[in-house]
């Protein structure tokens, strides 16, 4: 019976597979085989034993390991025994010189690498979608808002470009972080490699080369959990970007604003009681699940504060937070890609909202021009502040107030006032910034190398 929603409601098939029991078991087997090969290469075990382990380990079954665990109450030793049963004469050398976390943490490194490959691919897809929407809307002028209040104009193209730039930074972070978090170790019971003899460092290096992981420089019994904390903080950072985008979409879809709308199917139901509803449920799901992803950061940080060479407090916690945070981050990435792809923009509402304040939101434009033509900047600010407050209190267009203001008329003609109150003439370098972002970031949409 499924209990956790990632078993039946959230998550992509491929990310669930990375953190599933069968794949975890497979990663452990891969680590044991790589250890045997590296040990043989450096003369620590006979080559024929490593060959037997390589040939037989793949036949080990998770179900058999669970049977053994029921008897001995040690998960790693149960897997060792299940592998050894399949390796003939090599069985006696399975796990020789290793401690449990040498294998378990190395297996985790393989899982992290697989998870980040999936997240990297989705980040690049999201980047491509955002850049596409940015190009489509590079000249679509809209209301800018600060403190939730209407300000000077911006463009939808710039909004999409800002989000794209943030996603690109996550791609960059992922690449920088990967060798620090996708790591493995073979250092023994307390990190000294005493059981491996003088070739311990070489065995570890070769083992990780076989697996394609970064070897730790030093460790105690476990990989230091600051590495894993970085992984979880990265997931939380990605989730927060998606949360931010989701909040903006939800805000812009409010009935009073109505500038955008999530795609809504022809047979989709918005409410069980209000038939008219068209709710931004996908963005809401992104925002809600982002909270869960962020909640993994605190336990991940505490997992780095283990006693001495280690204790076991991290283990149970990691069994929960690794699959949960990874699956949910991957899920909301996939969801946000769909949201941005299907997002409907409503030009008529966008234009209407630009006119709500009857020109008051363009006061900065006039202030800048008054200063350019000779008025003291502080005086110009005060003139426009008073005119704006007057227009707002009277419900009168700002152009009407300014056309009667003698201080303004000395510098700007009525015709010029209309020009400076036109939102389309006050978007600065926004289109050029969009073009620059598109040129710079488009190559990141496809992974190379």
- Residue 270: the pLDDT is 66
**Comparing C-alpha atoms, which of 329, 342, 340 is closest to residue 118?**
329
- Residue 125: the pLDDT is 98
Q: Could you tell me the mean pLDDT of each successive run of 10 residues in the chain, 449 residues long?
A: 90 97 98 98 97 97 97 96 96 96 97 98 98 98 96 98 98 98 97 95 98 97 97 98 98 95 73 67 96 98 94 93 98 97 96 96 95 94 94 94 92 91 96 98 89
Chain segment 286-313, per-residue pLDDT in tens: 999 999 999 999 999 999 999 999 999 9
Chain segment 110-164, per-residue pLDDT in tens: 999 999 999 999 999 999 999 999 999 999 999 999 999 999 999 999 999 999 9
Using an 8 Å Cβ cutoff, are 211 and 186 in contact?
A: no
Q: How many CB atoms lie within 10 A of CB 449?
A: 2
CA 233 to chain centre: 10
- Residue 414: the pLDDT is 86
Which residues are the active-site residues? 147, 271
What the chain holds in terms of domains, given with CATH numbers, is 5-45+96-132+155-260+275-351 (1.20.200.10), 357-425 (1.10.40.30)
- Residue 275: the pLDDT is 64
Q: Which neighbouring-strand residues pair with 260? A: 345
Question: CA 64, CA 78: separation in Å to the nearest integer?
Answer: 8
Question: CA 48, CA 37: separation in Å to the nearest integer?
Answer: 10
User: 341 CB contacts (<8 Å, ≥6 apart)?
Assistant: 129, 263
Using an 8 Å Cβ cutoff, are 137 and 160 in contact?
A: yes
User: 237 CB contacts (<8 Å, ≥6 apart)?
Assistant: 170, 173
Q: Of how many residues is the chain composed?
A: 449
Structure-derived torsion over alpha carbons of residues 145, 143, 440, 132, reported in degrees to the nearest 10: 120
- Residue 389: the pLDDT is 96
Using an 8 Å Cβ cutoff, are 355 and 147 in contact?
A: no
- Residue 448: the pLDDT is 77
Q: Rounded to the nearest 10 degrees, what angle do helices 100-136 and 21-41 cross at?
A: 120
Q: Which neighbouring-strand residues pair with 344? A: 261
**pTM of this prediction?**
0.95
């Amino acid at each position: 019976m499924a209990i956790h929603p990632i078993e039946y409601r959230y998550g992509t098939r491929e990310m669930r597979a990375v953190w599933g029991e069968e794949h975890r078991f497979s990663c452990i087997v891969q680590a044991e085989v790589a250890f045997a090969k590296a040990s043989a290469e450096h003369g620590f075990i006979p080559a024929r034993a490593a060959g037997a382990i390589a040939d037989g380990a793949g036949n080990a079954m998770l179900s058999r390991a669970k049977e053994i665990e029921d008897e001995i109450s040690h998960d790693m030793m149960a897997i060792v025994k299940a592998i050894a049963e399949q390796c003939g004469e090599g069985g006696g050398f399975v796990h020789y010189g290793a401690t449990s976390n040498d294998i378990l943490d190395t297996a985790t490194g393989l899982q992290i690498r697989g998870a980040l490959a999936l997240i990297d691919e989705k980040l690049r897809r999201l980047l491509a979608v955002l850049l596409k929407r940015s190009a489509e809307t590079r000249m679509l002028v809209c209301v800018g808002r600060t403190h939730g209040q209407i300000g000077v104009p911006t463009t939808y193209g710039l909004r999409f470009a800002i989000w794209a730039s943030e996603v690109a930074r996550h791609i960059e972070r992922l690449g920088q972080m990967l060798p620090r978090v996708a790591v493995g170790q073979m250092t023994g019971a307390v990190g000294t490699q005493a059981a491996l003899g003088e070739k311990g460092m070489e065995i570890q290096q070769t083992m990780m080369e076989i697996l394609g992981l970064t070897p730790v420089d030093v460790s105690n019994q476990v990989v230091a959990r600051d590495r894993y904390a970085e992984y979880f903080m990265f997931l939380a950072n990605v989730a927060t970007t998606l949360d931010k985008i989701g909040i903006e979409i939800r805000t812009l879809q409010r009935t009073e604003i109505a500038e955008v709308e999530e795609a809504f199917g022809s047979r989709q139901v918005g409410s069980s009681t209000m038939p008219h509803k068209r709710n931004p449920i996908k963005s809401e799901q992104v925002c809600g699940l982002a909270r869960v992803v962020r909640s993994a950061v605190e336990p991940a940080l505490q997992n780095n504060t283990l006693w001495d060479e280690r204790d076991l407090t991290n283990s149970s916690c990691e069994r929960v937070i690794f699959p949960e945070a990874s699956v949910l981050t991957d899920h909301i990435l996939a969801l946000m890609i769909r949201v941005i792809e299907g997002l409907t923009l409503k030009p008529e509402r966008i234009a209407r909202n630009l006119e709500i304040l009857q020109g008051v939101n363009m006061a900065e434009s006039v202030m800048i021009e008054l200063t350019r033509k000779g008025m003291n900047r502080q005086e110009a600010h005060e003139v426009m502040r008073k005119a704006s407050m007057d227009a707002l209190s009277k419900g009168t267009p700002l152009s009407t107030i300014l056309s009667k203001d003698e201080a303004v008329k000395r510098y700007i003609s009525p015709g010029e006032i209309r020009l400076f109150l036109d939102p389309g003439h006050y978007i600065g370098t926004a289109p050029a910034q969009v073009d620059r972002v598109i040129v710079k970031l488009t190559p990141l949409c496809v992974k190379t190398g």
